[in-house]
Every structure is written in C-alpha cells, then in structure tokens.
Amino acid sequence: MPFNHQLRVRYGECDQQGVVFNANYLAYIDDASEVWIRSNSPNQRYEDLGWEWMVVKSIIEWHSPARTGDLLDMEIGVTRYGKKSFDLGTVGTVASRKVFSAKTICVSVKPVTHEPIVTPEHVLSILGDVVELDIPDS
C-alpha cells in the first residue's frame, strides 16, 4: 500500500493566483518521501542507512488547484524498481479531489560521493513492494 502523508497548504506557498505555486509540489513530494523513509526505519537514523537517493527526473501533471488552508493528502510509493534506480509515484488530493500526480525517477547513491550504487537490500525492505498509482507515464 502507498504511504499516506498530509500537510496544510500555507499562504506563502501560493502564487498571485491564490493557488499553490507549481515548484512547491516538488518540495511536498520531498517532504512526503522523507517522512515515509523515516517512518519505515524507526530504529535507525536516516543518516545511518549508508544510502541516499538523488532525483534525476520529475514529471508532474496538475489536475486542479490547491489553495491556502487546504489539507493536501498525498499517497506515495515505489512504482518501479531498477537495479540502481526506482520510480516514486505520488498522487495528491484535497477532499478526494485529485490535485496532482507525479513520477519521480531516483537513483541510489553513496552518501557524500554520490556515486550510483545498487539499491541495498535493507533499503529495499524499507521502500517496500511496488504499488500501483495513477501517475504520468513519461
């Protein structure tokens, strides 16, 4: 099952049109993924996993606006595994109304050097099984 994360849209995250500024959706995805990883490894500090990931590509489709004060519910999970990479899918809704969907392609790297590595087994267990989410293809 995807991980569920909720946040309240703040005034400063919206543009002059009164809707969430598009770049903030990437920050929301980053926040949700960090909370998800940390919640799946409660007995180990994230910094001690011996692993990090880097985003190499993000695709976002907007479906409807989110506005100041809205509670944005996000479902996030791995939608594809590769040897050194994986895709994160994220779907955001407000009161069950679809706001955005995103696919983020990530690569596993060594901390500090950022050298690509095979995703470690202990990390695969933290990330969990592949989930199905309605996200963009390319």
Tell me the two tokens of residue 91: 């779907």
pLDDT (0 to 100) of residue 47: 80
Q: What are the pLDDT digits (tens) for 37-47?
A: 988 887 777 78
pLDDT (0 to 100) of residue 44: 73
Q: Are 58 and 98 in contact (CB under 8 A)?
A: no
Write the CATH number for 38.
3.10.129.10
Please report, for residues 33, 38, 73, 105, the alpha-carbon distance to residue 138 in angstroms, rounded to integers and kept in the order given: 20, 28, 23, 10
Number of domains present in the structure of the chain? 1
Is 103 part of any domain?
yes
Q: Is 45 exposed, middle or buried (0-12, 13-18, 19+ CB in 10 A)?
A: exposed
pLDDT (0 to 100) of residue 45: 78
pLDDT (0 to 100) of residue 46: 76
Domain that holds residue 46: 3-127
Is 85 part of any domain?
yes
Is 138 part of any domain?
no
User: Across the chain, what does the average pLDDT equal?
Assistant: 94
Mean pLDDT (whole number) for 13-25 = 95
Q: Are 81 and 130 in contact (CB under 8 A)?
A: yes
Alpha helices in 93-135 (DSSP H): 121-127
